[in-house]
Structure 1
């Protein structure tokens, strides 16, 4: 009889728990302004990856859909004024001076991990991938680290929630 009672309680708890979780807004929902886009070098020093004053926004909705845009402010303009007639150097600066992607975001609070489930990206190799980032949330400041690059450097993004 105890087993039946436990099973009944479990059967009642699971749907109620799922409904409560679905009703909660996504913890990171909102608009976030980029504060820093840096690299931590193997020796521990921190250098700017997108210039001293990068520009960017991350938007996350209550269902966990997201969009990230990071830009180096000092990107050169295309001399011809037309994106289709850019020089190889202009195209390179445009690609290396930006990072954009969107998709779904999952949070694992116990392990302090964000998982970006990337649907589309400026760097096509990321499309259809899942990328994990260790994160910290302190008040309205969110920071996360990208896994180390082959050279040992670790990209770090810092965001501030906008009111």
Structure 2
């Protein structure tokens, strides 16, 4: 009898959208794994420079509900000489901070306005936590690019990602 009660409770808990015969909810359009192609800056004069080195490393994962995680790393970041980040030098800490950008949260798409809005739950740069950041984006097949609003110096960070198939 206890088993039957548990099964009944489990069946009643299943959301209505998953009930027999109900259509599945559509996937988030950007769901999947993305690898970083470029992490650059567009300068006011139109010049494009590498913000995280010539071959940055990065991974962005987005699930079917729009939850995401982003990691971007500069190539060639120096290792901590002491082998322990608690004993790092100021220069090692600076290279670690300026050589990476990581955050996670939820993502919303406005396809008419061509914008992505990152609702950042947590980030290596703690000032971003709890903020929403809008980015203009372009999606061409399996290539996604988005631009961060211009920094005070007029530079515009640009990230380019390729979907992993």
TM over 0.5: yes
Quote the offset at 1:134 in angstroms. Answer: 0.2
* 1:105 matched residue in structure 2: 107
Quote the offset at 1:119 in angstroms. Answer: 0.2
Instruction: Supply the distance in 1 between the matched residues of 2:137 and 2:105 (Cα, whole angstroms).
Output: 18
* 1:15 matched residue in structure 2: none
For each residue in 1:60-88, what CA deviation from the matched residue of structure 2 results, as whole angstroms up to 9, or x when unmatched?
Answer: 00000000000001100000000100000
The runs of at least 4 aligned residues of structure 1 exceeding 3 Å deviation read: none
* 1:12 matched residue in structure 2: none
1:147 aligns with 2:149: yes
Instruction: Supply the distance in 2 between the matched residues of 1:154 and 1:58 (Cα, whole angstroms).
Output: 20
* 1:68 matched residue in structure 2: 70
1:128 aligns with 2:117: no
TM-score (norm 2): 0.86
The structure with more helix, counted as a fraction of residues: 1
Residue 24 of structure 1 aligns to a residue whose secondary structure is: coil
Q: What are the equivalent positions in structure 2 for 1:111-122 lying under 5 Å apart?
A: 111-122=113-124
Instruction: Supply the distance in 1 between the matched residues of 2:43 and 2:37 (Cα, whole angstroms).
Output: 19
Instruction: Supply the distance in 2 between the matched residues of 1:114 and 1:47 (Cα, whole angstroms).
Output: 23
CA RMSD of aligned residues (A): 1.4
* 1:32 matched residue in structure 2: 34
* 2:52 matched residue in structure 1: 50
Instruction: Supply the distance in 2 between the matched residues of 1:74 and 1:155 (Cα, whole angstroms).
Output: 20
* 2:13 matched residue in structure 1: none
Unmatched segments (≥5 aa) in structure 2: 1-21
TM-score (norm 1): 0.87
Quote the offset at 1:153 in angstroms. Answer: 0.4
Unmatched segments (≥5 aa) in structure 1: 1-18
